[in-house]
Chains A and B, each alone.
Chain A
Amino acid sequence: MTAEIILFWLFAFLTCAGAIMVAASQNVVRMAFSLVLTLGSTAVLFLLLGADFVGATQLLVYVGGTLVLLVFGVMLTATGPFTRIKSSPADAILSGLIGVVFLFIVASTVTAVNWDGENGIDQKIAMGAHAKAVEGGFNPTQQGNTTRPLGLSFLSLRADRDLKLDLPKESSAETNTAPVVPGVSVVMPGVMPPPKSPVPLSTGYLLPFEIVSVHLLVVLVGAAYLARTKRRATT
């Protein structure tokens, strides 16, 4: 029983308990608190999974930003006692039942899959697709330090795939036989292929990164419009 395992169980428990409290509680302030607990614990789980940057972001954006937003919402709308808006027990029981069935379906389906290990999905794909991540997932041994790989991945420089391998040698043999990498796999027959390149580019995330900025701008304009009071035309 390593410390890692203990931490996992502890935060797994906290995550689930928080989530259940969010669902079960009738008091919106308690819900908010439980949500902080859940999201925070999830951030720790992220860290345990070796995603330190995402974990940190989770803490910053989610717990620090989104939740504060929600708490503001709670405060702005809390005019009367919260008891007034409680859901009826019948609703709760019904939803609970649906939830249990749903949980059974999702959990029993998802956890039954052999995700890694012997003859697991990772092996099958890694072998069949000639994926370059021989060891399956990303960052299995070296904990943390994901910031740089993440940053590079936006430029389609993939620490988990491209940079580990001897690129030119392998690619020249592979690209023609197994067109698996997105950039080239969908070359249309009868259409002029793009200029031949030694290595196919891995998926880079520059575009969504930029596009999201436009999205945020639009969304903020919308939110601002809705939140502000209508200015009266001065005539």
Chain B
Amino acid sequence: MEVNVLAFGIAKDIFGGSSVSVSLPDDANTVQLKQALEEHFPRLKLIASYLVAVNNEYADEDLLLSTRDEIAIIPPVSGG
């Protein structure tokens, strides 16, 4: 399946845009998403940490993804 991944902050710089499309096996989880992204964008491995949000919630590692999900990469936050 193809999922669309939103990017913010440093992740936007790394992806070179505010979203990227990623090919994943059907029913991939967030760990597989991270692996695929890090393969395409090795600089992702250099940031302090990052989380995956699915449908506006922080996602656990074993959460299964679907093409209808709103998926986002959340680098270390720094608001306030």
B partners with A: no
